[in-house]
Amino acid sequence: MTKLFEKGTLGIIDVNNRVFMAPLTRSRANLDGTQHEMAIKYYSQRASAGLIIVEATQISPQGQGYLKTPGIYNTQHAEAWKKVTNAVHANGGKIVLQLWHVGRISHTSLLPEGKPPVAPSAIQATADTFTAKGVENASEPRALDIDEIKPIMDEYVQAAKLAMDAGFDGVEVHGANGYLLNQFISTNTNVRDDQYGGSIENRSRLLLEVVDAVSNEVGHNKVGVRLSPTSRFNDIHDEQIEETYSYIYSELGKRNLAYLHVIERSPEYETPDKDKDEDIVRKLRNGFSGNYIANGDYDKASASKVLEEGAFAVAFGRLFISNPDLAERLEKDAELLEPNHNTFYGGDEKGYSDYPTLAST
């Protein structure tokens, strides 16, 4: 027996099972940030997931870090996304939008007027991004002035409002993977000496202010947060991981949000501290008082185990790329198809919406 296929409720979002689809950047949007019509079929095929968390979606032109990623900062974006949400809902699914600002993980060629990326501090990342020329190093950022922070918070709120207009069931604030909010949190990317730097409380301030502002706009029970405490992706590292995230988890637990979604491990970015990191992740998870979504190289057995240990659901990433009916395949112990890595980013329907379902085979 497993809880993977039980119904449940996240905030006010009812879900049919605990097999969630993680946000997956696929780089197939139009250049103006409107979601491509291919996404209608792609996401509706995966509506049997308990919850679809759509790919990271930038909240402003300044928030873009990769070519052909979707936006949610004007009505055209909302209208394109509404076609996706309508299709998912028609197939009985639930879907939330991930709100994204990349901060320093960008390139001048992707940003308005070719200006540099912004970050909490002017520290360049040892990381790559994808531009019209292909893979390029992230550009050197400039530090945000204190009076530029509130307008970015307002962009999160506006993006959340547009997501509701587009028919999403909720939103997820992206505070993971070395992007802007994660950059404010981490000691190696934030050396500010104002109220957004220094102490754990100060470095966590922007994340919590964004969460509160978005919650005030759409309702706390429609808001999730994504974090990656131990990840080193995009040249991120916190010297006080356990202390920092114990504080953040505690603060988020007080807010009665829909959920906390945590990237617990990533096989591609393992460090010599793997065992220590796993201990920290487990300790943090056990101390969180709300709905917890685990993410990180899970299979059916390990997912079932973490649900027994108290997690609400497990978010699967790559398996959902090649198995649009993943929940059904897991329930029936059917064969799982392997994804084509060459078609992960960019391209057309090949490797995107052409993977077969059990029913079609």
Catalytic residues: 179
Which has the closest alpha carbon to 228: 51, 56, 19, 28?
56
Q: Are strands 13-15 and 128-131 parallel, antiparallel or unpaired?
A: unpaired
Specify whether the CB–CB gap between 270 and 231 falls below 8 A: no
The dihedral sign for the CA sequence 191, 139, 155, 215: negative
Range list of H helices, the chain = 38-44, 75-90, 149-165, 180-185, 200-218, 241-254, 274-287, 300-308, 318-322, 326-331
How many Å apart are CA 352 and CA 197, to the nearest integer?
41
Q: Angle at CA 109, nearest 5°, toward 108 and 114?
A: 60
Give the number of other CB atoms < 10 A from CB of residue 198: 14
Specify whether the CB–CB gap between 281 and 264 falls below 8 A: yes
Specify whether the CB–CB gap between 158 and 73 falls below 8 A: yes
Report the residue count for the chain: 361
How many Å apart are CA 134 and CA 65, to the nearest integer?
13
Query: 3-class SS at 155?
Result: helix
Query: 3-class SS at 71?
Result: strand
DSSP secondary structure string, 158-177? HHHHHHHHTT-SEEEEE--T
Specify whether the CB–CB gap between 218 and 160 falls below 8 A: yes
Residue owning tokens 């409107």? 34
DSSP code of residue 22: P
Cα 197 from chain centre: 24
